[in-house]
Amino acid sequence: MTTRKQTPWLILMCLLLLFSCQTSVVFQQQKSIPSEGWHYLDSIIFEASIDDTVSLHAMRLDIRNTVDYRYSNLFIFLDIEFPDGKLLRDTIECILADRQGNWTGKGFGKMRTNRFLFRDDVWFPQQGIYTIRVFQGMREDRLKGISDVGIRIEKK
């Protein structure tokens, strides 16, 4: 049984535990895709200023699609350019619908939003601007049905 003197401390400890598990957003930005579609040669460019070279981070990709999108997945080619010019390339498959054709993610009406973890426990070795370029890799000249792409970097 808890006494009245113990109750404030118990509440404080619960709040500390709750907030100590929270991540802090270091960078977050969304960019819209033109209504005529995402051309396979067009990159979406994000520039994240990173100052913390000690902490670990999680990198996430936000994809917003319409229910008119023709596929259940989306292949993304992603380039990360370090401040010193070094380049890291990655290919990511984003599953936007399950095997039955039901859209994943959040939303209602014609729009759905998904967030995908594509790099975890990331350590940024240099301070400065990291340039992230995102390309669609779906073998279509103009990919329709993707409305927004975003990058989110969180300190763990």
CATH number for the domain that contains residue 74: 2.60.120
Q: Kindly give the pairing relationship between strand 87-95 and strand 73-81.
A: antiparallel
| pLDDT tier at 50, thresholds 50, 70, 90 | very high
pLDDT digits (tens, 9 = 90+) for 64-98: 999 999 999 999 999 999 999 999 999 999 999 99
Secondary structure letter of residue 141 according to DSSP: S
Q: What is the domain range of residue 102?
A: 25-155
Residue 125 maps to a domain: yes
Strand ranges in 1-156 using DSSP code E only, listed in sequence order? 24-32, 38-39, 44-50, 56-66, 73-81, 87-95, 111-123, 128-136, 142-143, 146-155
- Under 8 Å CB-to-CB from 67, ≥6 apart: which residues? 103, 110, 111, 112
Q: At 47, which amino acid appears?
A: E
Asked whether the CA dihedral 65, 69, 71, 74 is positive or negative, the reply is negative
pLDDT digits (tens, 9 = 90+) for 92-106: 999 999 999 999 999
Secondary structure letter of residue 52 according to DSSP: -
Residue 34 maps to a domain: yes
Choose among 92, 88, 151, 91: nearest CA to 124.
Answer: 88
pLDDT at 3 over 80: no
pTM summary value:
0.83
Number of domains in the chain: 1
Q: At 42, which amino acid appears?
A: D
Residue 87 maps to a domain: yes
